[in-house]
C-alpha cells in the first residue's frame, strides 16, 4: 500500500473535523431554534408588526454572540493546550529520565510488555520527546487541534444560514400564516441540520436528526407558551 493510499484511508476518519464541525452544527441549530423561538414568541404575543424587525435583530445579534463566544471558548482551550506544552517542555528539561519512565508506563498500560514499552519510549525520546508526550500523555494531536478563528467563522456563518430559514416564514401574508410558516420552515431546517451533521460526522442519520428536531421543537413550544402568557397578561 502506497503512502497516498494510507493518507486517503486516514482521511476517511472524521476526527480532523473536530476543530470546526461542533461550532458549525451548534451555530446552525442555534440559529434555527433561537430565531424561530424569538419570532414565534413575538407572534404569540400578538406583536406582528415587529416580527420582521425582531427576526433580523435576532439573526444579527445571535451571529455576533455565537462568533465571539465560540472564539473565546476555543481560544481558552488553545491556552490550556499551550500551557500544557510549556509545562511538558520544562519537565523534559528538568527530568528526562522520569519522563521516559512515564512514557514507558503509558505504553505498558496500553498493552505492551515492559521491555517493548521501554524500547518504544526510548525510540520516541530519541526522535521527538515533546511530540511523543503531547500525543500519548496529553492527547494533543495536530488534526484535532482547536481552531478559534475557524470555529468562530463557522459558528457565525451557520447561525445566519440557520436563522434565515425560519425568517422566511415572516414573509407570509397573514399573522396566522406567518406563525405556521415559521414553525414549518424551522422544522424542515432542523431536519436538514440533523441529517447534514450526521452525514458529516459519519453517524447514523435517524437518532441525531430526531434529537435535533425534538430539542428545537421543545424550545419553540416553550417560547410560544411564554409569548402567549405575555399577550394574555397584557404586558
Number of C-alpha atoms within 13 angstroms, CB side, residue 178? 21
pLDDT at residue 7, rounded to an integer: 34
Grid cell, residue 161, equals 444560514
Is 6 within a domain? Answer: no
Say if pTM beats, i.e. exceeds, 0.85. no
CA 77 to chain centre: 13
- Each residue's pLDDT, cut to its tens digit, for the chain (235 residues) gives 443 443 344 334 444 444 555 566 666 767 777 777 777 767 665 655 677 777 888 888 888 888 888 888 788 878 888 888 899 999 999 998 999 999 999 999 999 999 999 999 999 999 999 989 988 888 887 766 777 888 888 888 888 888 888 888 878 777 678 778 888 888 888 898 888 877 776 778 888 888 888 888 887 788 777 766 765 555 5
Is 35 within a domain? Answer: yes
Domain count, the chain: 1
Is 96 within a domain? Answer: yes
- Please spell the DSSP secondary structure of the chain, one letter per residue: --HHHHHHHHTTSSGGGHHHHHHHHHHHHHHHHHHHHHHHHHHHTT-GGGHHHHHHHHHHHHHHHHHHHHHHHHHHHHHHHHHHHHHHHHHHHH-HHHHHHHHHHHHHHTT--HHHHHHHHHHHHHH-HHHHHHHHTT---GGG---HHHHHHHHHHHHHHHHHHHHGGGGSSSHHHHHHHHHHHHHHHHHHHHHHHHHHHT--SHHHHHHHHHHHHHHHHHHHHHHHHHHHHT-
Buried b (16+ CB within 10 A) or exposed e, 98-114: ebbeebbebbbeeebee
Is 11 within a domain? Answer: no
Closest CA relative to residue 103, chosen from 77, 128, 84, 83: 128
> Are the C-beta atoms of 209 and 198 separated by less than 8 Å?
yes
Is 1 within a domain? Answer: no
Is 4 within a domain? Answer: no
Residue ranges making up the domain that contains 32 = 19-233
pLDDT digits (tens, 9 = 90+) for 143-152: 667 778 888 8
Is 7 within a domain? Answer: no
Is 13 within a domain? Answer: no
pLDDT digits (tens, 9 = 90+) for 75-115: 887 888 888 889 999 999 999 899 999 999 999 999 999 99
Amino acid at each position: 500500500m502506497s503512502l497516498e493510499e494510507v493518507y486517503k484511508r486516514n482521511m476517511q476518519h472524521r476526527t480532523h473535523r473536530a476543530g470546526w464541525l461542533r461550532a458549525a452544527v451548534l451555530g446552525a441549530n442555534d440559529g434555527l431554534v433561537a430565531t424561530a423561538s424569538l419570532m414565534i414568541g413575538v407572534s404569540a404575543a400578538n406583536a406582528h408588526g415587529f416580527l420582521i424587525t425582531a427576526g433580523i435583530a435576532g439573526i444579527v445579534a445571535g451571529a455576533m454572540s455565537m462568533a465571539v463566544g465560540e472564539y473565546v471558548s476555543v481560544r481558552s482551550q488553545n491556552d490550556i493546550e499551550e500551557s500544557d506544552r510549556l509545562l511538558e517542555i520544562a519537565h523534559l528539561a528538568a527530568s528526562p529520565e522520569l519522563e521516559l519512565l512515564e512514557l514507558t508506563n503509558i505504553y505498558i498500560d496500553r498493552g505492551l510488555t515492559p521491555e517493548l514499552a521501554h524500547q518504544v519510549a526510548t525510540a520516541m525520546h530519541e526522535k521527538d520527546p515533546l511530540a511523543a508526550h503531547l500525543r500519548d500523555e496529553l492527547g494533543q494531536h495536530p488534526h484535532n487541534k482547536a481552531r478559534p478563528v475557524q470555529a468562530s467563522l463557522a459558528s457565525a456563518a451557520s447561525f445566519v444560514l440557520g436563522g434565515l430559514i425560519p425568517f422566511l416564514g415572516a414573509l407570509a401574508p397573514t399573522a396566522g400564516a406567518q406563525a405556521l410558516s415559521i414553525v414549518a420552515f424551522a422544522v424542515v431546517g432542523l431536519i436538514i441540520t440533523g441529517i447534514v451533521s450526521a452525514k458529516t460526522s459519519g453517524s447514523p442519520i435517524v437518532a441525531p436528526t430526531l434529537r435535533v428536531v425534538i430539542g428545537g421543537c421543545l424550545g419553540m413550544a416553550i417560547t410560544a407558551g411564554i409569548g402567549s402568557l405575555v399577550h394574555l397578561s397584557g404586558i
